[in-house]
Amino acid sequence: RVDPFYRDVDDLLARAESLSGTTAERSTSRRPAVWLTGAAIAALLLGGGVYGWNALRSPNLAEQPPTGTAGTIVGANPTGVIAATATATPLVVADVPTTGASAAPAASEPAGGTLPTAEVVPTTPPPPTEIPPSPTSEQASPTALPTEAPPPTEVPPPPTEVPPTPVPPTAVPPTAAPPRPTQAPAPTTPPAALPAGGLEGGQVLDGDNFSNPASGWPNLQEANYTLGYRDGAYVITSQPNTGAIFAYGSPLGASNAIIGADVIPVRGAAGLNFGPSNNYRFLISADGRFRVEQRGGRVIVGPTPSNAIRAGRNRLVLAVVGTRASVYANGALLANFNVPTPLAGTTYGFVVVPGPNGGEGIFDSLTVRTLPR
């Protein structure tokens, strides 16, 4: 017969292995708390079995063989003495196995009365229980300390170009040059030996009152200008932008002479001309001005107003002595100027310069005289 201690232990081990085998598959997927619960139950069962066995054997402890040996029962009736066998198998109380097949209890005693040796199945120790850390109510995430950015580099602003303050120029009075001695103007004198009674007191060399249309002055009727006799006078007309229109008499035979004529400037300017090819022009206009100019555009005396010039008929006189010339209007001296060459051999006559409305001049009572004696 099997000792009840070994039978109960074997039964407990078989039950523990059977229990662990049926729950092994599910336990692997459960939480670690299931493992802890199973281990605690197995420990309680094992502890209870050991405690009960010790309570049953406590009256006969003196008759029992030393603990930890196994043997064969001597005699037909057991006396509680166990003969030691050649090989003693230590009693192993295993923990509740977690893996492997469970060992079923023996159905009957083995032949010959030999106590079967229990085969110890090596067990794999359970993996260490992972005890999860107790969750905190709120895991504080690391607070990222704000990185203090370095202060921006202050770039000095570009220098502002300040325009220079304009300084008003200091008026420096010019150095006064020493005054030149004032020269008294030369007295205006008529040509030499002119009588006090008038400019035209000399001998008449030539003249025309234009009463005879065949006296020798040109008669022309052009599209832009006309020259000819009209109503006992000589008339020159021209269209605007035509240019100066001339009419010439006979050449002069003396260098000193006085030329006079009655002139009415109707439109533009009208007057006397004299001298060589680049002749001179003495002109008056209806607005009371006069001017002296040379052919080609040279101005001797610019347009100048004079009270001596009347509206309508004016007596113009040109007096030439050598290379000195003087011009008069109605007996009043207007200007003196020099001529490059004497008048001997040169021509004289009338001239009209048109204005914006054209030009027209009426000429009469022409005389050429010598200087008065």
pLDDT in tens, 312-336: 999 999 999 888 999 999 999 999 9
Distance CA 178, CA 280 (A): 39
Is the same domain home to 357 and 230?
yes
Residues 217, 109 share a domain:
no
For residue 39, the model assigns a pLDDT of: 78
Domain range enclosing 35: 4-113
Q: What's residue 155's pLDDT?
A: 53
What pLDDT is stored for residue 289 in this prediction? 97
Three-state SS at 84: strand
Residue 192 lies in a domain: no
Q: Give the domain-ending residue among 113, 129, 163.
A: 113
* pLDDT, tens digit (0-9, with 9 covering 90-100), for 102-118: 333 333 333 444 333 33
pLDDT of residue 83: 35
Tell me: the pLDDT tens digits for 275-307?
A: 876 789 999 999 999 999 988 878 999 999 999
Q: Quick one: pLDDT at residue 372? A: 82
Q: Is the pLDDT of residue 60 over 80?
A: no
Task: Give the model's pLDDT for residue 333.
Answer: 96
For 191-279, list the strands marked E by DSSP: 204-208, 220-221, 225-230, 233-238, 245-248, 257-267, 269-275
Q: Are residues 218 and 352 in the same domain?
A: yes
Residue 6's pLDDT is 61
Alpha carbons 340 and 276: distance in angstroms, whole number: 10
Confidence of residue 15 (pLDDT cuts 50, 70, 90): confident
Domain match, 208 and 353 both: yes
Final residue belonging to a domain, choices 97, 113, 129 = 113
State mean pLDDT over 118-134: 46
- Whether residue 133 is contained in a domain is answered as no
pLDDT at 53 over 90: no
pLDDT reading at 166 higher than 90: no
User: What are 189-213's pLDDT values in tens digits?
Assistant: 444 434 444 688 888 989 999 999 9
Do 237 and 364 fall into the same domain?
yes
Strand partners, 320: 257, 325
Q: In this predicted structure, what is the pLDDT of residue 21?
A: 58
Final residue in a domain of this structure, among 113, 148, 183: 113
pLDDT at residue 148, rounded to an integer? 53
Higher-scoring residue by pLDDT: 233, 24: 233
18 or 248, which is more confident?
A: 248
Average pLDDT over residues 216-232: 95
187/295: higher pLDDT: 295
Rounded Cα distance between 310 and 13, Å, is 166
The residue with greater pLDDT, 89 or 268, is 268
Same domain, 356 and 256: yes
Residue, of 93 and 247, whose pLDDT is higher: 247
How many degrees, rounded to 5, is the angle at CA 45 between CA 44 and CA 51? 85
**CB neighbour burial string for 162-178, b if at least 16 within 10 angstroms, e if fewer:** eeeeeeeeeeeeeeeee
Identify whether residues 81 and 211 lie together within a single domain. no
Assess whether 221 and 96 both reside in one domain.
no
193 belongs to a structural domain: no
Q: What's the pLDDT band for 36 if we cut at 50, 70, 90?
A: confident
Question: What pLDDT does 67 receive?
Answer: 44
Q: Which residue has the tokens 């325009």?
A: 163
Domain assignment present for residue 172? The answer is: no
In-domain check, residue 324: yes
Q: Strand, helix or coil at 57?
A: helix
Q: Tell me, yes or no, whether 225 and 365 share the same domain.
A: yes
Instruction: Read off the CATH number of the domain in which 306 is found.
Output: 2.60.120.560
250 domain-assigned: yes
pLDDT of residue 201: 80
Specify whether 353 is located in the same domain as 244.
yes
Looking at the domain assignment, is residue 20 inside a domain? yes
Q: What is residue 217's predicted lDDT score, i.e. its pLDDT? A: 94
Question: Would 187 be classed as within a structural domain?
Answer: no
Number of domains the chain is built from: 2
The span from the CA of 247 to the CA of 190, in Å, is 27
Instruction: Quote the mean pLDDT of the chain.
Output: 70
Same domain? For 210 and 325 the reply is yes
User: Is residue 109 domain-shared with residue 208, that is, in the same domain?
Assistant: no
